[in-house]
A and B are shown apart, each in its own frame.
Chain A
């Protein structure tokens, strides 16, 4: 509640009753509200009737077996599905109360405000500096060269990478180690000053030490950003998230506080998944 962004664009106020229904015990604003979201890839339906509210300044983990629709759902939140010709999204997704699928919404602005970090680190084949500066440059966020430098340094610092690369900002980003590359991608996402950061299995290609660093980073970032993370690893979900949503076969099965989901799941499928019966 003490977050500045919460008041920039006041969303539809939720009643306390509603709030407690979604996330009992959590007193956060709702940042993202999805209603009846369905996704079709061509003739194939990938997501069925998802209703999910995501609170601000928290980490929500989306878990579920492969092909369950968790990534598909996440890619709806910054309309990355638009880049796939055959994808069709129905239902509404509101961020701060504004439907992001309305016609007048501009994906360019949306994606600047909803940053994304991908499964495999994907730095551009450019220098570290240019990688981070790319977003601010295209969006015109820096008025001058020194502004840009400031943004880059700040983003790299926030991503916990600055100390490691400060002497070689002009070196190619592809020359970093896997964990560093992923933090570079996080810095790149932060640089556009987003409000929400989507992370699509950000640690699946990394070793345990690099993973630990990223998880630490996520924990710090949640002070300023709403974070949605898709993960395969139950332990990771338990470690980094405050809320967890379980997807199965395109349906949102269960959502709740992470502790509750892991200790006392309501749905049998969730239970089976968490205890390792399938997945």
Chain B
């Protein structure tokens, strides 16, 4: 190291005051801010999605927490209801007559049928249950709240409209193209399209006037890929054309200019700017009048949906509840807990405290780590092939569900237990061994009690994960349709909360959208409670050594 090189280095010291250096530093800071912005954007994106997810569930789900009900005044005629066997009466007829009694002017089978569609098909059962519970009411006039059927429930809550757009975007687009050609006019309250037709003698004699009209109409849509646009022409266009030919027989074989009417929806669209039709969920326009009458008479109310928690599943969304799913999940979790908790703790104690470090324990550890990452659907396959086929356990039963879930929960509990055991300081162990305790006594009497809060925390988190598992339960059939909660048991067919959500999400009725969201909110509520308990345990009992 000579003085020459050092002085050269010194003289080459960077000129931080130069403009180039300042620019460079500036751009480096800009880069730094950019990375920070990307980070904030990423987190913001994730948070926004979380927000959208939760709000959309609340938005779609909150309506399911109230049910639109109509008050039904029923005279419980003892002639119709035998007080000895109240459950055997024809409640369908009683409900029918009671409800039709509100609308004495509605006659005719079809009208009455439409009217009866306002109340839920479950109404007779509700009345039956009421009478069976209150047999002393027989012979009296009672007021019973029965749910309205799904479309009216949704209508009253404002989820679905009375009228919907009759035409889709692309239909309107197509029509817009026609309008821009300036051939449309509405001279006498009905929109007509002015077009040139060739009155082919052959077709005229065969009476194929609609073919002639359609042929000519096609000319307006040279780029159309299909012939859906013919629906724009009114159904009476052919008749109008025929009338024109009959009035002007000399035009046959020539081209003529005619004005043909267009169909109702497009007519409305042209004249009023919008085309609406009655929501097809409703049978006729009259039902709105009837329903409005019920509303104005103050017979309609929206009490809290206790049915969501106390009813079992139903094909009618306004009656469907989660009682079956909640009890099924509870039973499966109970089985899962009874298996995975003792087994997990025993296994973890062995691995952490007793196991020699050898091939066998290495294999077990690798196995546990891998099991935690095996796709849940594979556990379902295992349950199906082993528990159902080899052991012949009943399909759809909570015991099988619980067993499969316990295999999935086991790694979580083992890992948590080992961590909790590890956290107990050696001083405690030494103290126990020092007074002559055996290793088993040391673990059972001293280490395990101190590790228990951590173990419980891990167990609850594992059970919360198990509560949300769906795929393995689907494979072992724990998505049974359970319409009553009378026959619940660990060997009985059952359903679970997540599989119920899956089943409802697949149902076509509009009301199940809100029911599904509500069920998800209930599930998330349970998960939140379990996690809150876990956090509480962790903060309250876990000590730092």
Residues of A participating in the B interface, judged by any CB pair closer than 8 Å:
3-5, 8, 106, 108-109, 112-113, 138-141, 154, 157-158, 160, 192-193, 195, 220, 223-224
Contact B28 A224 (CB under 8 A): no
Residue B10 lies at the interface, judged by CB distance under 8 Å to chain A: yes
With A and B bound together, what is the CA distance between A192 and B6 in angstroms?
14
Residue B109 lies at the interface, judged by CB distance under 8 Å to chain A: no
Which B6-46 residues have a C-beta within 8 angstroms of A? 6-7, 9-14, 16, 21, 24-25, 28-29
Task: Provide the residues of chain B in CB contact with A113, threshold 8 Å.
Answer: 16
Contact B28 A138 (CB under 8 A): yes
Q: What 8 new A-B contacts, CB under 8 Å, besides A157-B1, A192-B14, A224-B6?
A: A3-B10, A5-B13, A108-B28, A112-B14, A140-B21, A160-B1, A193-B12, A195-B13
Task: Provide the residues of chain B in CB contact with A139, threshold 8 Å.
Answer: 14, 24
What are 22 pairs between A and B in contact, CB < 8 Å? A3-B10, A4-B7, A4-B10, A5-B10, A5-B13, A8-B13, A106-B25, A108-B28, A108-B29, A109-B16, A109-B21, A109-B25, A138-B28, A140-B21, A157-B1, A157-B5, A158-B6, A193-B12, A193-B13, A193-B14, A223-B6, A224-B9
Task: Provide the residues of chain B in CB contact with A8, threshold 8 Å.
Answer: 13
With A and B bound together, what is the CA distance between A109 and B16 in angstroms?
7
With A and B bound together, what is the CA distance between A108 and B14 in angstroms?
13
Contact A158 B14 (CB under 8 A): no
Q: Which of A3, A4, A141, A223 contacts B14 (CB 8 A)?
A: A141
* Nearest 10 Cβ contacts at the A-B interface: A193-B13, A140-B24, A109-B16, A224-B10, A193-B14, A224-B6, A141-B14, A4-B10, A106-B25, A108-B25
- Given known A-B contacts A108-B25, A108-B28, A140-B24, A158 and B1 have beta carbons under 8 A apart: yes
- Given known A-B contacts A108-B25, A109-B16, A220 and B10 have beta carbons under 8 A apart: no
Q: Which of B5, B11, B24 contacts A154 (CB 8 A)?
A: B5
Task: Provide the residues of chain B in CB contact with A220, threshold 8 Å.
Answer: 1
Task: Provide the residues of chain A in CB contact with B12, threshold 8 Å.
Answer: 193
With A and B bound together, what is the CA distance between A56 and B28 in angstroms?
30
Task: Provide the residues of chain B in CB contact with A160, threshold 8 Å.
Answer: 1
With A and B bound together, what is the CA distance between A193 and B11 in angstroms?
10
Task: Provide the residues of chain A in CB contact with B28, threshold 8 Å.
Answer: 108, 138
Chain B nearest Cβ from A189, distance in angstroms: 13
With A and B bound together, what is the CA distance between A113 and B16 in angstroms?
9
With A and B bound together, what is the CA distance between A154 and B29 in angstroms?
29
- Given known A-B contacts A113-B16, A139-B14, A141-B14, A193 and B25 have beta carbons under 8 A apart: no
Task: Provide the residues of chain A in CB contact with B24, threshold 8 Å.
Answer: 139-140
Chain A nearest Cβ from B364, distance in angstroms: 33
Task: Provide the residues of chain B in CB contact with A138, threshold 8 Å.
Answer: 28
Chain A residue at minimum C-beta to C-beta distance from B16: A109
With A and B bound together, what is the CA distance between A98 and B121 in angstroms?
86
Chain A nearest Cβ from B12, distance in angstroms: 7
Task: Provide the residues of chain A in CB contact with B7, threshold 8 Å.
Answer: 4
Chain B residue at minimum C-beta to C-beta distance from A8: B13
Task: Provide the residues of chain A in CB contact with B29, threshold 8 Å.
Answer: 108
Chain B nearest Cβ from A121, distance in angstroms: 21
With A and B bound together, what is the CA distance between A113 and B21 in angstroms?
13
Chain B residue at minimum C-beta to C-beta distance from A110: B16
With A and B bound together, what is the CA distance between A109 and B17 in angstroms?
10
With A and B bound together, what is the CA distance between A138 and B7 in angstroms?
24
Task: Provide the residues of chain B in CB contact with A158, threshold 8 Å.
Answer: 1, 5-6, 9
Chain B nearest Cβ from A154, distance in angstroms: 6
Chain A nearest Cβ from B8, distance in angstroms: 8
Task: Provide the residues of chain A in CB contact with B25, threshold 8 Å.
Answer: 106, 108-109
Chain B nearest Cβ from A168, distance in angstroms: 21
Chain B nearest Cβ from A217, distance in angstroms: 9
Task: Provide the residues of chain B in CB contact with A4, threshold 8 Å.
Answer: 7, 10-11
Chain A residue at minimum C-beta to C-beta distance from B20: A140
With A and B bound together, what is the CA distance between A219 and B29 in angstroms?
36
Q: Which of A108, A113, A160 has the most CB of B within 10 A?
A: A108
Task: Provide the residues of chain A in CB contact with B14, threshold 8 Å.
Answer: 112, 139, 141, 192-193
Chain B nearest Cβ from A257, distance in angstroms: 25
Chain B residue at minimum C-beta to C-beta distance from A217: B1
Chain B nearest Cβ from A95, distance in angstroms: 12
With A and B bound together, what is the CA distance between A125 and B219 in angstroms?
73
Chain A residue at minimum C-beta to C-beta distance from B9: A154
With A and B bound together, what is the CA distance between A177 and B24 in angstroms?
36
With A and B bound together, what is the CA distance between A28 and B25 in angstroms?
32
With A and B bound together, what is the CA distance between A278 and B517 in angstroms?
70
Contact A193 B9 (CB under 8 A): yes
Task: Provide the residues of chain A in CB contact with B10, threshold 8 Å.
Answer: 3-5, 224
Chain B nearest Cβ from A245, distance in angstroms: 26
Chain B nearest Cβ from A132, distance in angstroms: 13
Chain A nearest Cβ from B23, distance in angstroms: 10
With A and B bound together, what is the CA distance between A157 and B28 in angstroms?
29
With A and B bound together, what is the CA distance between A8 and B11 in angstroms?
11
Task: Provide the residues of chain B in CB contact with A193, threshold 8 Å.
Answer: 9, 12-14
Task: Provide the residues of chain A in CB contact with B16, threshold 8 Å.
Answer: 109, 112-113
With A and B bound together, what is the CA distance between A217 and B498 in angstroms?
69
Task: Provide the residues of chain B in CB contact with A224, threshold 8 Å.
Answer: 6, 9-10
With A and B bound together, what is the CA distance between A113 and B15 in angstroms?
11
Chain B residue at minimum C-beta to C-beta distance from A190: B9
Chain B residue at minimum C-beta to C-beta distance from A162: B1
Chain A residue at minimum C-beta to C-beta distance from B3: A223
Task: Provide the residues of chain B in CB contact with A108, threshold 8 Å.
Answer: 25, 28-29
With A and B bound together, what is the CA distance between A112 and B28 in angstroms?
14
With A and B bound together, what is the CA distance between A109 and B13 in angstroms?
12
Chain A nearest Cβ from B263, distance in angstroms: 71
Chain A nearest Cβ from B427, distance in angstroms: 25
Chain B nearest Cβ from A233, distance in angstroms: 25
Which B221-258 residues have a C-beta within 8 angstroms of A? none
Chain A residue at minimum C-beta to C-beta distance from B13: A193
With A and B bound together, what is the CA distance between A132 and B107 in angstroms?
97
With A and B bound together, what is the CA distance between A223 and B6 in angstroms?
9
Task: Provide the residues of chain B in CB contact with A140, threshold 8 Å.
Answer: 21, 24
Chain B nearest Cβ from A223, distance in angstroms: 6
With A and B bound together, what is the CA distance between A118 and B362 in angstroms?
39
With A and B bound together, what is the CA distance between A3 and B11 in angstroms?
10
Which B424-466 residues have a C-beta within 8 angstroms of A? none
With A and B bound together, what is the CA distance between A140 and B16 in angstroms?
11
Give per-residue flags for B396-433: 1 if the beta carbon is below 8 A from chain A beta carbons, else 0: 00000000000000000000000000000000000000
Chain B nearest Cβ from A98, distance in angstroms: 11
Chain B residue at minimum C-beta to C-beta distance from A109: B16
Task: Provide the residues of chain B in CB contact with A112, threshold 8 Å.
Answer: 14, 16
Task: Provide the residues of chain B in CB contact with A195, threshold 8 Å.
Answer: 13
Chain B nearest Cβ from A110, distance in angstroms: 9
With A and B bound together, what is the CA distance between A160 and B6 in angstroms?
13
Task: Provide the residues of chain B in CB contact with A106, threshold 8 Å.
Answer: 25
With A and B bound together, what is the CA distance between A108 and B5 in angstroms?
26
Chain B nearest Cβ from A73, distance in angstroms: 24
Chain B nearest Cβ from A89, distance in angstroms: 21
With A and B bound together, what is the CA distance between A3 and B10 in angstroms?
9
With A and B bound together, what is the CA distance between A223 and B9 in angstroms?
12
